[in-house]
Structure 1
Amino acid sequence: MTNGDSDAETMHAMTYDRFGGPEVLSATRQPLPKVGPGEVLVRVRCAAVNPVDWKIMAGGLQGMMDTVFPVVPGWDVAGVVERVGIDAPEFSVGDEVMAYARKDYVHGGTFAEFVSVPVRCLARRPSTLSWQQAAGLPLAGLTAYQTLTRLGTREGETVLIHNAAGGVGSLGVQIALALGARVIGTASPANHDRLRALGAEPVAYGDGLTERIRAVAPEGADVVADFVGGVLDTTLSVLADGGRHASIADNTVLEKGGQWMWVRPSGDDLAVLAGWADEGRVSVRVADVFPLARLADAFELSRSGHVHGKIIVTP
């Protein structure tokens, strides 16, 4: 897999052996991941940064998921199948794939030369997306897709997306349109032209937001997807009779009849997004690209909160 007999079963990876900020990341050599039944080994072409990566590194999910140090962070990947497990007939060596490669515990992630991925997480890379774009689609795309489909978004409905210019929100706009909905998106005025280009009707944040939404949708929104948090009052004030709402950032929606979303790995759902990408309905904006050794810088950029598009890392 790598040069030299002594390196044949190891790989370059970024790891951390304690919780903390980007300073705990180190460039290391790690054993090549084992490939269990129902898994494939993927040679990483690109991996994408998501805020959950550095939040986990800071210990933010200790109460939810077990951690086995040293950790290779990262859940998003696009790459080529290198080995196939004994119960993975769906894929062959050489297949180009992408995945939201979250496992049941935190350990072997995607910021490395290789990653083992359960078949249930995998989909084939759309020919219309670059490696960078394909790596940026899974987690954000699945978050938006599963939110909108679990809310039962139907053709002809009006969908309101909070933070429509963000990484999840911009994909949510495209997915809602692919589902046949009309889309209204909240965003700062600087992002309104971009939202119009995606096909959404932009509405500015700030005082008077409810009135501005009602001005363009007097009957209210049938579906509201909150991809930012802190907007429950606005959601309830513009929700149509019989409307449905969900949030990925505010669990208090449960007290008001909404759903609190946590994205689930699904190769089947990802294949739907891949199909829409090939039809030109879904695309991914790439903001910046870093080499693997500069993962700490990529995390710092993500933490800044001022990124319009996906941050990509290449081994």
Structure 2
Amino acid sequence: MPAIQVNHLGKSYGRFQAVNDISFEVEAGTVFALLGRNGAGKTTTIELLTGFQKPDTGTVRVLRLDPIRDRAQVRGNVGIMLQEAGFFPELTAGHTVEIWRDFTPAARPASEALELAGLTAKEKTKVRQLSGGEKRRLDLALALLGRPDGLFLDEPTTGMDPEARRNIWQVVRDLAARGTTVLLTTHYLEEAQQLATKLAIMDRGEIVIGGDMAETLAARVGRVSFELPSVIRPGELPLPATVRGSLAVVQAADPDLAAQTLLSWASERGLRLRRLEARTASLEDLFLELAQSYEIPQNDVSAGSDRPGRSGDARA
């Protein structure tokens, strides 16, 4: 049985339909990315999955439990990392984890949780002295205290430097490999592509794309780009290309084959294709495609609050 089951889920705030008849499943040990622009419905969906909100329509099961009816059992078996957390600024990171352990059944040792989050060196540092990225890691340490079977990560690496972000990626991979089910939202598209094997992209409360990450991207068109030789006109190329300035771009279902075709053509003419790059479709390409299809502003594809008048805090 899937670790998370969502069937025809709906939630409104007045006339605003935040979540509109969505359905998806997440198998145990899977990293599932819930993506979309600000206001797409992700935050409300997480609130419904974790029992912070009651659905208007549809059903939710997390680890075979109803997050509303079986709230205590669900909270005891899942870890939740919200967009913002309320810490006492004068407590140290270590003391914060120790206090949290008192409310967490079968909690890990504080030192183990801090190590998982990469905060061992900050154990005696006051929370107010932690950077934004370090506070996010403290959030993660608290979410992992109870050795959860399910983990909800809402923007887990915001404010982290690249090294810290990749360290957290490895923690998530290790947890999934041991059977933990992870649902995450993130506005770092590379992060989602690196971690998730399944995805759902929401827009205006609905899931517009969902399924296997690799299959979804493989179905999109890749591209080959290169610097157009000054002696060549676009119409002379062996494949149709869009030229922007000196850069030519060829859309191709098989970018490797397209690149070989271009290189063979250039070799026959004694030409060199500078800055040649062939790549399959990425999540960024997919979002740009959706931005055009659904008129989504291209600078507005991050995770955030989908509730009118709210700033993005996922708590009820």
Superposition TM-score, scaled by structure 1 size:
0.23
Q: Which has the larger Rg?
A: 2
The higher-RCO structure (CA 8 Å, 6+ apart) is 2
Superposition TM-score, scaled by structure 2 size:
0.23
Q: Which has the higher strand share?
A: 1
